[in-house]
Amino acid sequence: MNKSDAERMYGMLEHIGYTQTDEPKEADMLIINTCSIRQLSEDKAYSQIGVWGKIKKSKPDLKIVFAGCVAQQGGKNILKRAPYVDLVLGTQRLYELPNLVKRIETGERVVSIEEKPFEESEIQINRVKGVNAWIPIMEGCNNFCTYCIVPYTRGRERSRKPELILAEVKKALSEGFKEITLLGQNVDSYGKGVNETQNGFEISEGKEFGKDLQGNTINLAWLLRQINAIEGKFRIRFVTNYPTDITDEVIDTVIELDKVCEYFHIPMQSGDDYILKKMNRRYDYATYKKICDHIRSRVKDVTITSDFIAGFPGETEEQFENTLKAMTELELDYSNTASYSPREKTVAAKWVDLYVPEDVKTDRLARLNEHNRACCLASNKKYLGREMEVLIENFEVRKNGDKVITGRTRNNKIVHIPCNRDLRGKFINVRITNARTWYLNGELV
């Protein structure tokens, strides 16, 4: 989501005369787009602007913009804490950036963190040329998992207008992109958002887009069908799914539509029923397993990945071991892992008495990662000897002179292939010759 927001910022700024530079010391304006999902990323953001503050001492006209989730949380306190910051840009005010930049150019210092989405205009996104285009379809979250800051930093669920999404997809395809990834905190909620100000509707909780001209309900499955109908060879993915919100209609699109890939990212967070309840997740382990088994039984070669948190407040050794068991039992193909990080405002952060000691969290995270590695390797081994379609994303000449292309299969496995030609953006057939923990080796067929 941050990568996509950053692309949007570049796109807007190019329209008002800015160009991109990789050298902070030469820039007229520096923007940090922050993440606050865990304490570490927040700390990094503040330490980075500290460095930029020093640059500004010898370059007083330099403008510094603090954007994203940490900005949303910190608001005007950021101007106090970091007096060299010119603009604090909240997550729902992204599209206001060009107007705000004009104001800071005249010397004003501005905080814009209102929890009211700034209307999106038909801006043209100037994407850095590549293979994969990340396109947001919905934003925000209504779930309030007790550990998570997202509902506080990104606001309530709201969906982008289908016309804007489809226009953006077509533009990306016309520029040569070959894979479209639809983004959202909960993509299954597409169409159900609260903010339809962009569509001329008034804001009302739970309001749906309604129907298209043929009377079909506008939801994720509908959107996938619209995008799949666009001509040309390309792939479609979507992230992230909330386990119990995945519909059969969406699973059907993966089976029926040629462009929609066999890949689901379905965060489980914990394999223990008590902890899941404490996390305010709306499922228990048996329910998650049922969903996972159902998808695996319907979609051939599907990859299912997940997210897990180690050391949630009150988690016992036994409860943690249930997570390890779940990972293995469900044969998860890959998982993102993190140790629990208390976040301001969230419910679980208040359970200080139940905090798991740092050394225990570190130990559990290490064991979680160990398990994850074993699951990944086992998953990769399933594809040994198979012929798979790979979309090439990288071409690299290694220090020893070897030339290697790297890409992903439809089910999101990374494959390295020796090849002298730069085949970026091409779909090629590859035979899998070796399975490593994080990737596969293959050869052209």
Binding site for ligand SF4 (CB under 6 A): 141, 143-145, 148, 150-151, 185-186, 242
| Nearer of residues 113 and 338 to ligand SF4, judged by Cβ | 338
Instruction: Give the largest Cα separation in the chain, rounded.
Output: 63
What is the closest distance, in whole angstroms, from the C-beta atom of residue 195 to ligand SF4 in the complex?
16
* Binding partner of 340, given ligand SF4, ligand SAH, none, CB within 5-8 angstroms per partner class: ligand SAH
What is the closest distance, in whole angstroms, from the C-beta atom of residue 350 to ligand SF4 in the complex?
16
Distance, CA of 224 to CA of 226 (rounded, Å): 5
Q: Give the other-Cβ count within 10 Å of 183's Cβ.
A: 19
How far apart, in Å, are the Cα atoms of 413 and each of 265, 293, 306, 437? Answer: 13, 20, 15, 11
* Binding partner of 38, given ligand SF4, ligand SAH, none, CB within 5-8 angstroms per partner class: ligand SAH
What is the closest distance, in whole angstroms, from the C-beta atom of residue 261 to ligand SAH in the complex?
19
Residue 110: strand pairing partners = 87
| Nearer of residues 65 and 141 to ligand SF4, judged by Cβ | 141
What is the closest distance, in whole angstroms, from the C-beta atom of residue 412 to ligand SAH in the complex?
17
Residues 6+ apart with CB under 8 A from 382: none
Beta 387-397 vs 334-339: how paired, if at all?
unpaired
Distance, CA of 78 to CA of 42 (rounded, Å): 12
| Nearer of residues 85 and 365 to ligand SAH, judged by Cβ | 365
| Nearer of residues 234 and 238 to ligand SAH, judged by Cβ | 238
The burial class, CB within 10 Å (0-12 / 13-18 / 19+), for 355 is middle
Peptide bond between residue 240 and the one before it cis (omega within 30 degrees of 0):
yes
What is the closest distance, in whole angstroms, from the C-beta atom of residue 445 to ligand SF4 in the complex?
40
Per CB under 6 A, does 271 bind ligand SAH? no
User: φ, ψ for residue 185 (rounded to 5)?
Assistant: -60, -35
Distance, CA of 380 to CA of 334 (rounded, Å): 10
What is the closest distance, in whole angstroms, from the C-beta atom of residue 240 to ligand SAH in the complex?
4
* Binding partner of 343, given ligand SAH, ligand SF4, none, CB within 5-8 angstroms per partner class: ligand SAH
Distance, CA of 336 to CA of 265 (rounded, Å): 10
* Binding partner of 144, given ligand SAH, ligand SF4, none, CB within 5-8 angstroms per partner class: ligand SF4
Residue in 6, 35, 37, 444 binding ligand SAH, rule: CB under 6 A: 37
Per CB under 6 A, does 356 bind ligand SAH? no
What's the full length of the chain, in residues?
A: 445
Q: Which residues bind ligand SAH (CB under 6 A)?
A: 37-38, 147-148, 150, 185-186, 240, 242, 267, 269, 307, 309, 338, 340-341, 343
